[in-house]
Structure 1
Amino acid sequence: MPSTITAEKTALRAAALATLEGLSSQDRQDSDRALFRRFLALPQVGQASTLLLYYGMGVEPDTKTLFSSLWKAGKALCLPRCLPGNQMEARLVQRTESLIRHPYGMLEPGEDCPRLEPAQIDLALVPGLAFDRAGGRLGRGGGYYDRWLAGFSGVTVALCRQAVFFNALPRLPHDLGVDLVVTETGLYGPSHSVPLESGA
């Protein structure tokens, strides 16, 4: 029943957050390096012209370190901007100085950043507290990405620390997964259920 799944997801969110907060700074840095190396090496990233990223904060991967590499590679980068009603939009970002602080604490594009439609974006990097082998995602519960991804037809990718990577996560009908889950040691998803060889 949905109520049971909802309760299970709430408990998993608390457990995943506690696990992530328990990682040392060095553990997070080592994890970030491995995740970013694999992400930048993905052929889907190489083929994408416009990408939606997120500005990692707190226990999330420090994704802002990806920005310069992708800009140097000639990529156009967007970041999400929160809207009323738990909605979001993607706005083009050409420099981090154009970001502003949202009341929730994260950095997001300002009104001066051009808005892009989902159809204009080739690949979206999707955040989450935990992911599973089939691309299942455990978000923070706001539903922002589920609503935006419902209208997105490009490639979806997640960066997941091995410490919060599960064989299977509970899902409700409206929960949308991702095409590819990148961990420190492998690549997973509906078509990638076998981990890559170390160093691949």
Structure 2
Amino acid sequence: MGGWGQAWNSPDSSRAPCDFFFFFFLIFRAASVAYGSSWVRGRIGLQLPAYITATAVWDPSSICDLHHSLQQRRILNHQVIAHSQYLKSKRISIFLSMPDEIETEEIIRDIFQQGKTCFIPRYQFQSNHMDMVKLASPEEISSLPKTSWNIHQPGENEIREEALSTGGLDLIFMPGLGFDNCGNRLGRGKGYYDTYLKRCLQSQDVKPYTLALAFKEQICLQVPMDEHDMKVDEVLYEDSPAS
């Protein structure tokens, strides 16, 4: 059996049930964002294993919250700030984190302290189009309007410098729900980052380095991919090798 079935035949069999249940949790989370939690309860909930259904139906983030320790966040922030790709990059895009993602506030502050240029996502929710627009300061974030995902971002009609129009990007920090050590990534189903990375390849002579930020519990044996998905160059998490 290929794909996720390989987890059950893996030499690391003690980890297999965790990966299996986490895979179903990732499906639940992605569908919750795309269609709303009530749709997921009606269409998916009864098909999930009992453990996932009992936990996730009440609070889709509760499983992930069990693993979101401050220690992991601090370790990852230190890894990023010392990372060779981060140190040499001048133009950086970084996501504004959701509650179930690695918090990026400290990294954003360091970007400005180091005199680098910071860009953040501006999503168009009626499509899969996303721009990376310039952020003036870390303090500006709290004044930006919130989207339906409860993420701050500049308004669609606000004129801002877009990264690909003014020199491109050196480094892109990537969010996601799940990752494997081959660079495969499970996003939230809209394809924003996959589409944007393809635009980068068309606009820049040198591809930006892509660095995913993850909790170690988000690292899976294998993430399913299709022809439209773009791999990340590196997944950074608590136990990942130093770069």
Q: 1:28 matched to which residue of 2?
A: 69
Structure 1 match to 2:175? 127
> Which of 156, 169, 172 is matched with 2:210 structurally?
156
Note closer, same or farther for the CA distance 1:147–1:23 as it changes in structure 2 (3 Å cut): closer
Partner of residue 94 from structure 1, selected from 117, 136, 143: 136
Between structures 1 and 2, the one with greater strand share: 1
Distance in 2 separating the partners of 1:15 and 1:185: 26
Aligned pairs for 1:131-142 within 5 A? 131-142=179-190
**Is residue 115 from structure 1 mapped to residue 162 from structure 2 by the alignment?**
yes
Larger radius of gyration: 2
Provide the TM-score with structure 2 as the length reference: 0.67
Deviations 1:154-199 (A, max 9, x none): 100001111110122111111111001101011xxxxxxxx34xxx
Contact kept, 8 Å, 1:132 with 1:166, in 2: the verdict is yes
One-letter amino acid of the structure 2 residue matched with residue 103 of structure 1:
S
SS in 2 for 1:90: strand
Instruction: Report how far residue 14 of structure 1 moved.
Output: 3.5
The two structures, once aligned, show a CA RMSD in angstroms of 2.8
Question: Aligned partner of 1:114: which letter?
Answer: E
* SS of 2:69 mapped into structure 1: helix
For residue 150 of structure 2, what is the aligned residue in structure 1?
Answer: 105
1:131/1:26 CA distance change after superposition, 3 Å: closer
Q: Which residue number in structure 2 is paired with residue 145 of structure 1? A: 193
Q: Match of 1:171, as an amino acid?
A: M
Rounded Cα–Cα distance in structure 2 between residues aligned with 1:22 and 1:159 = 18
* Percent of residue pairs identical: 27
Higher helix share: 2
- Please report the TM-score for the alignment, with normalisation by the length of structure 1: 0.81
Stretch of structure 1 that moved more, 137-146 or 99-108: 99-108
| Residue 93 (structure 2) pairs with residue 59 (structure 1) | no
Q: Structure 1, unaligned stretches of length 5 or more?
A: 187-194
